[in-house]
Amino acid sequence: MTVKIFDTPEVQDFLNSVAGFDQAGGNERAKRIMHRLLSDLFKLIDDFDVTQEEYWSAVDLLNALGHETQFGLLSPGLGFDHYLDMRQDAIDAEAKRTGGTPRTIEGPLYVAGAPEAEGFARMDDGQDPDGETMWLTGQVRDLDGNPVPGAKVEIWHANSKGGYSFFDKTQSEYNLRRTIVTDGAGRYTARSIVPSGYGVPEGAPTDQVLKALGRHGERPAHIHYFVSAPGHQHLTTQINLAGDPYTYDDFAFATREELVVPAQRIDDPAEIARRELDGPFA
């Protein structure tokens, strides 16, 4: 049997009470947003004839997500993170703040407090037997193309199994997480290992939601960046290593064409030896 009650005065009065519209205290914006959110959900229940069983299984799922601290993982999967970035892009465009490296999402796996270095850092602890050496080098420039010395470049990425230190307790503290301050020419160099793509844990609440949508939880191999300097807008971005099967099929919708970079293989032994010195190379 299907009944429709949403538009009745009783339900509308009830919603006003639940959102605290007839109470003096509280926060006006919180009230208006909660009223809208509950209205949309109550209407959804009416429109889809959501059963009590369906409702309580949704409550169980939300509890499981919270218990495993996975709201932050489901969030990019449901597109919230990218949607907020699309809005920020539009806000910046409106304010004529355009150009430079595009932003993309932070994701749920940043950890503050990584070791800080000047100009160069080795990021891996040498404990990953499948780790293939990778050098990252770049230059922070302002919108006029001038180098920015002393900029903070925070880099974090997964190991060869797609795991992130702190969350993956088999890794040493702050493995593959560093803050590098750019040198006098605005440059930074890191020695690390090639990351693998990330996959949402099998069977986890986030995975259950994605499976119900017929979707996977894979991300292509990527490297996260925060770039900041006094007087400049903070940049949150990532680069993707080109050639990954998930480059254009990222469950977190974070790929942007300008951020897909081809790696260059170094085979010349002399060049490898020069770089093995573990320092910024000329």
User: Among 77, 107, 138, 280, which residue sits at the site for Fe ion (rule: CB under 5 A)?
Assistant: 107
**How many other C-beta atoms lie within 10 A of the C-beta of residue 96?**
7
User: Smaller CB distance to Fe ion: residue 77 or 107?
Assistant: 107
DSSP string across 204-215: SHHHHHHHHTT-
> At how many degrees (to 10) do helices 52-67 and 205-212 cross?
140
Partner whose binding site includes residue 252, from Fe ion, ligand MBD, none (CB under 5 to 8 Å by kind): ligand MBD
Stretch that binds ligand MBD, among 1-9, 26-34, 101-109, 119-127 (CB under 6 A): 101-109
In sequence order, what are the residues at sequence separation of 6 or more whose Cβ sits closer than 8 angstroms to the Cβ of residue 11? 5, 42
Judging by DSSP bridges, how do beta strands 235-241 and 177-181 pair with one another? unpaired
Nearest alpha carbon to residue 101 among 58, 170, 153, 65: 153
Query: Is residue 219 close enough to count as binding ligand MBD by CB under 6 A?
Result: yes
Burial annotation 47-72 (CB, 10 A radius, 16+ → b, else e): eeeeeeeeeeeeeebeeebeeeebee
Query: Is residue 109 close enough to count as binding ligand MBD by CB under 6 A?
Result: yes
Query: Is residue 76 close enough to count as binding ligand MBD by CB under 6 A?
Result: yes
User: Smaller CB distance to ligand MBD: residue 186 or 220?
Assistant: 220
User: Among 42, 85, 103, 107, which residue sits at the site for ligand MBD (rule: CB under 6 A)?
Assistant: 107
Q: Which residue is nearest to ligand MBD (CB)?
A: 107
Q: CB of residue 73 vs ligand MBD: minimum separation in angstroms?
A: 6
Indicate the helix (H) or strand (E) that contains 74. Answer: helix 71-77
Query: Is residue 241 close enough to count as binding ligand MBD by CB under 6 A?
Result: no
Q: How many residues bind ligand MBD (CB under 6 A)?
A: 10
Residues that bind ligand MBD (CB under 6 A): 73, 76, 105, 107-109, 198, 219, 252, 254
